[in-house]
């Protein structure tokens, strides 16, 4: 067990830093106290296992917290006194604390509103992209309709060509039938003439 006396510099007063430190300490089973100093620093007395205290000091750097900015940390290691049963926050004058918490709430509210505005802006961007995608989809469907229309025209021409070919085939077959009938009769006449000539030659 060890005791760490920590002095934290930066934007650490009137921003809810002490409550954050207490929350982290209690989650890690660290005993002690945190208080504001007149010079703008925050003083923390923490008792626990050395490794746990080192992790605690990394956590109370409060990286990622929008309103808190830790710029420096001075640590003194001493022997534990076991005077603390839990981790506590040493408050100032009640009225001053009340005004401070109202100020903290207002600051956090502004931060939340800012984040909400950013989220709404991103949502608008997403909706704009969605509109662009729908517009492209409409263009694709329009092109698809044009392709189907051309396909229908090609099929219509194909049907027309097929009809012309059928007519040509039927006419050709009909003409062949006529020629066959016509030339068939001529052939019969030629046969009869040949028979008569043969008969005349035989008589002589």
Closest by CA position to 86, among listed 26, 171, 175:
26
Phi, psi angle pair for 60, to nearest 5°: -80, 0
- Token look-up 């929008």 returns 66
DSSP character at residue 34: E
Q: How far is residue 62's CA from residue 12's CA, in Å, rounded to a whole number?
A: 10
Query: What pTM was estimated for this model as a whole?
Result: 0.52
> Tell me, what's the pLDDT at 55?
97
Given a cut of 70, whether residue 69 has pLDDT beyond it is yes
Which residues are known to be catalytic? 18, 36
Q: Which helix (H) or strand (E) holds 135?
A: helix 94-203
Q: Report whether 34 contacts 44 (CB < 8 A).
A: yes
> Tell me, what's the pLDDT at 139?
86
**What's the CATH class of domain 2-91?**
alpha beta
Query: pLDDT, tens digit, for every residue of 128-183?
Result: 888 888 888 888 888 888 888 888 888 888 777 777 777 767 777 777 667 666 66
> Tell me, what's the pLDDT at 179?
65
Token pair listed for 158? 């194909």
């Amino acid at each position: 067990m060890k005791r760490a006396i920590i002095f934290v510099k930066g934007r650490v007063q009137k921003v809810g830093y002490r409550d954050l430190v207490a929350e982290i300490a209690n989650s890690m089973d660290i005993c002690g106290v945190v208080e504001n100093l007149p010079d703008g620093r925050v003083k923390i007395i923490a008792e626990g296992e050395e490794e746990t205290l080192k992790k605690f000091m990394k956590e109370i750097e409060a990286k990622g917290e929008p309103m808190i900015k830790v710029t420096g940390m001075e640590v003194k290691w001493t022997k534990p006194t076991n005077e603390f049963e839990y981790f506590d926050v040493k408050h100032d004058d009640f009225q001053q604390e009340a005004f401070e918490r109202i100020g903290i709430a207002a600051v956090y509210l502004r931060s939340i509103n800012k984040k909400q505005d950013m989220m709404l802006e991103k949502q608008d961007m997403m909706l704009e992209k969605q509109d662009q995608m729908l517009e492209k989809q409409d263009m694709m469907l329009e092109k698809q309709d044009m392709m189907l229309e051309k396909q229908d025209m090609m099929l219509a021409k194909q049907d027309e060509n097929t009809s012309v070919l059928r007519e040509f085939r039927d006419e050709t077959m009909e003409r062949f039938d006529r020629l066959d009938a016509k030339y068939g009769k001529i052939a019969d006449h030629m046969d009869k003439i040949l028979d008569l000539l043969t008969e005349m030659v035989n008589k002589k």
